[in-house]
Amino acid sequence: MNQLDQLKQFTTVVADTGNFKQLAQYAPQDATTNPSLILKAVQQPDYAPLLADTVAAHRGRPHVDIVDEVLVRFGLEILKVVPGRVSTEVDARLSFDTAATLARARRLIGLYQASGVHRERVLIKIAATWEGIQAARELEREGIHCNLTLLFSFCQAVACGDAGVKLISPFVGRIYDWTKKQAGATWDEVARAGANDPGVQSVERIYTHYKHFGITTEVMGASFRNVGQIIALAGCDLLTISPELLATLQASDAPVVRRLDPAAAKAAALPPVHHDEAGFRYALNEDAMATEKLAEGIRAFAADAAKLDTLIRELQR
């Protein structure tokens, strides 16, 4: 078997793309999107008509409603290809507003349900700020499942587990990027590869904590820079992978062995960890990498959301 098929024996493979026409060849179970991926897709000739048609069909409605219609339209197309779930992201500009995040999430789910899609097939993506996590806690109580994204620190994962979040997306590649940049000339690429990669180690710690304490939140490694990071996390609940890296996995028949195992995690000796709001904020503040990358990620997603706003407004003229 190729590496992609081997990986699927241990881990649910998820496609990280808004390009739904690429999905079938990799047969992923789920798919994830974000504002940057949707923006990239709608600027391609294959997808520009979908954007234009959606905007035209809802002309005259409030701008924010049209944006949500566009996001859900992409999600609906993706769900025609994948048998599982799609993740659709709440506007990153709402990352520090619990009430607004709740309202947006409920509207997105309502649009999916109005199109005949059961809520079990949708994950609402929310930034893993304290406010976002509290919104997810309430949404999960309502039966609206969430994917907490922009997750870089153990304290974010702990808070998500305590909130009963369905799934988290710890960002492997961005942790790797930050650590490599900080190391500068002292960085040893070979020594810090695979199981020694800082992003891989972060996900492994979270996975071990969840499985040890029986926390049911799913762990989905995300934001990969190379195949080595993916292979080092074989056995993680899910891994969301770009089409480029899916193609690389599919082209190789090198062996893949399971590295993350729930039985081993259960046997580990770990102290329980919980955070109230003050404890969470302090722990996040103590993690310079997570503080910086969370803020940077929100800014980047917000900027791409604004660019998508501009494209939609131009089509409304």
Task: Give me the domain span that covers residue 7.
Answer: 3-316
Confidence tier at 22 by pLDDT (50, 70, 90): confident
Please tell me the predicted confidence (pLDDT) of residue 317.
Answer: 81
User: Is there a contact between 137 and 113 (Cβ–Cβ < 8 Å)?
Assistant: no
Domain count across the chain: 1
Mean of pLDDT values over 216-232? 98
* pLDDT tens figures, 159-196: 999 999 999 999 999 999 999 999 999 999 999 999 99
Q: Pull the structure tokens for residue 131.
A: 């406010």
Residues annotated as part of the active site: 125
Count of CB atoms within 10 A of residue 296's CB? 14
pLDDT at 267: 96
Q: Which pLDDT band holds residue 95 (cuts at 50, 70, 90)? A: very high
pLDDT of residue 138: 98
Which pLDDT tens digit goes with each residue over 227-268?
A: 999 999 999 999 999 999 999 999 999 999 999 999 999 999
34 pLDDT above the threshold of 90: no
CATH of the domain at 223: 3.20.20.70
Residue with tokens 């934001």: 223
- Mean of pLDDT values over 43-58: 93
